[in-house]
Amino acid sequence: MLEIHRLATRAAFFAPEIERLRAEWAADDAHTAAALDGASVLAGHCELCSQATRFTLVGGADPNWRESQTCARCGLISRVRFAFLLADLPALRRGDAIYMTEQTTPAYFWLLRAGLDTVGSEYVEDPTRRELLSNYIRIQTGGLESRLRHEDVTRLTFRDARFDRLFSFDVLEHVPDHRAALREFARVLKPGGLAVVTVPFDVNAEASLRRASIGPDGTIVHHVAPEYHGDPVADAGCLAFHTFSWDLLNDFRGAGFDAVELVLGRDAEGGLRGLQLAILASKSVR
Ligand SMILES: [Zn+2]
């Protein structure tokens, strides 16, 4: 059973009852990791697949709970499955649409296979690379799609209120002007629409860290040691411009979202161990 806690502020995250829960979970995870004794597979039940499955871990004695617990059936890691479960996908009706800021990933292909009306995009400026990725998409989708869609998340080409759900997984930290991206996310969502966003999130910090920015001459200015993350569509890693913290929730509010929360989730049996966090932001109907 998925247990979730919706937290609107840093204070809520550090409230005694939430601190106690997190300590309990951490102890349970440590116990589980120790009992695995080097094995990398946990039996369980995937809520997304609605079936018994096995979850594969990476990280050895200290499992990377956020980036693994990969379900043997859907092939999705815990962070992505958690985000999909929060989005209440079964509530979507015929004609409802989803936007996702990725198009070459297992998560995107899963949405397509689930028969959901989904538009995905990547940020790829190099035409040769676009061509290669288009081929990859054609193969992965069995010809259902054959063109990589290039989008700049700070200047989306979609009309207003086009989508019912929006997913963006570990993308925003790579966008220099992340507030412009959030305004675009709010713009393309329908009233009543829901965005589920993950980013590496520093729960301890009071404010986000600006790691780098774009200088007046267009070059990158580093404010701290550069940090690069793996990028599925680029060989070189992708520079992180931010390490986000709680003020990011205010940036969502400032961009036009009404209810914005950091959701903490747990389903030990369901392959959602560790600190599962996602931002859930909705636009009210008005
Ligand atoms: Zn699954």
Q: What sign does the CA torsion over 183, 185, 191, 192 have?
A: negative
- Going from the Cα of 41 to the center of ligand 1, the distance in angstroms, rounded, reads 14
The pLDDT assigned to 38 comes to 80
- Going from the Cα of 53 to the center of ligand 1, the distance in angstroms, rounded, reads 7
The pLDDT assigned to 233 comes to 67
Three-class DSSP category at 107:
helix
- Going from the Cα of 76 to the center of ligand 1, the distance in angstroms, rounded, reads 6
- Going from the Cα of 79 to the center of ligand 1, the distance in angstroms, rounded, reads 12
The pLDDT assigned to 37 comes to 84
What are the sequence ranges of the domains in the chain?
3-38+80-282
The pLDDT assigned to 44 comes to 97
**pLDDT tens per residue across span 147-172:** 999 999 999 999 999 999 999 999 99
Residue 145 sits at φ, ψ, to 5 deg, of -130, 145
CA pair distance 283, 286, nearest whole angstrom: 9
CB 263, CB 277: distance < 8 Å: yes
The percentage of residues in the chain with a pLDDT greater than 90, rounded to a whole number, is 93
The pLDDT assigned to 40 comes to 93
Three-class DSSP category at 87:
coil
Per-residue HEC secondary structure of 21-87 comes to: HHHHHHHHHHHHHHHHCCCCEEEEEECCCCEEEEEECCCCCCCCCCCCCEECCCCCCHHHHHHHHHC
Which stretches in the chain have pLDDT values below 50? none
- Going from the Cα of 87 to the center of ligand 1, the distance in angstroms, rounded, reads 16
> How far lies 72's CA from each of 2, 35, 55, in Å?
19, 21, 6
**pLDDT tens per residue across span 56-83:** 999 988 899 999 999 999 999 999 999 9
- Going from the Cα of 42 to the center of ligand 1, the distance in angstroms, rounded, reads 13
Superfamily of domain 3-38+80-282 in the CATH hierarchy:
Vaccinia Virus protein VP39 (3.40.50.150)
CA 202: distance to chain centroid? 15
CB 55, CB 41: distance < 8 Å: yes
Q: What are the structure tokens assigned to 163, written together? A: 């989508």
Residue 269 sits at φ, ψ, to 5 deg, of -65, -30
- Going from the Cα of 43 to the center of ligand 1, the distance in angstroms, rounded, reads 12
- Going from the Cα of 78 to the center of ligand 1, the distance in angstroms, rounded, reads 9
